[in-house]
Structure 1
């Protein structure tokens, strides 16, 4: 299969690859075996950067024998706005859901929750979820506290 894309489309593809790469590896400190096929494909696409007019944002490192986005592109490229918006939304969504689920378990108990019919469980969870979403929308993290006493190991 051959796909013809314009230089502008290639540039957009690089943004998509940066977003995908962020999802795959942003929180990893090592190469994961399961991401190697994706990394290989990214390298294959990066290898066309010069001919597609993107040598200013994708560079080849001879020592590592691999292509890399420049630091400026990684940190300030247009794709960053999508990553940052996704992370911001994910943070609040995950925090709300985890706390709502925790509170529902504390209120109902795990066994009762497992036996509860789906609609009742969803309704009760939604009540907690709505409360947290409103709280975080109004106050951010201002009212969030960890009630466990801090260890001497924490500054």
Structure 2
């Protein structure tokens, strides 16, 4: 298969495969190892070709990983880096609000009853808690978030 891409399309492709490889690298499950490696291998292949097609100032070879990558100083200025950071940030706050809401629901109805609920049933019952947490985190971040250790742990 042959693709003819404009310089702008190639730049977008470089960003897309780099974003996909970065996101996939967070998957630490043993069964995902081969697929993560496939993403990284395709990224390296596309970056190598891009480096020979006018994007040499964007691309470098990483001796440690034995793969091509976007240079860090270039990456920090690209749209995909912004997308990646935003994804990680939003995922953090979303997951924190969901987990704290689940904890509150389990405390309210008991862990055994909570375990019997489907994910959809849990989300239907935790909406008010999630909203409260989102409002708190939007205003104050983790400023008022605290971990309280049991007395036995000092």
Indicate whether the TM-score tops 0.5: yes
> Which stretch shows the higher mean deviation, 80-89 or 68-77?
68-77
Q: Structure 2 regions of 5+ residues with no counterpart?
A: none
Question: Which is helix-richer, 1 or 2?
Answer: 2
String of CA shifts for 1:33-52, please: whole Å, max 9, x gaps.
33222222112211212332
Q: Which of 62-71 and 43-52 deviates more?
A: 62-71
Match of 1:18 in 2: 18
Preserved contact between residue 20 and residue 39 of structure 2 (Cα < 8 Å): no
Q: Distance in 1 between matches of 2:119 and 2:130?
A: 16
How far off its partner does 1:149 sit? 6.2
**Paired position in structure 2 for 1:130:** 131
Partner of 1:139: 140
Q: CA RMSD in A?
A: 3.0
In the superposition, the TM-score normalised over structure 1's length comes to 0.79
Runs of 4 or more off by more than 3 Å in structure 1? 60-66, 114-123, 149-152
Q: Distance in 1 between matches of 2:63 and 2:99?
A: 45
- Whether the aligned pair in 1 keeps the contact of 2:19 and 2:80 (CA below 8 Å) is yes
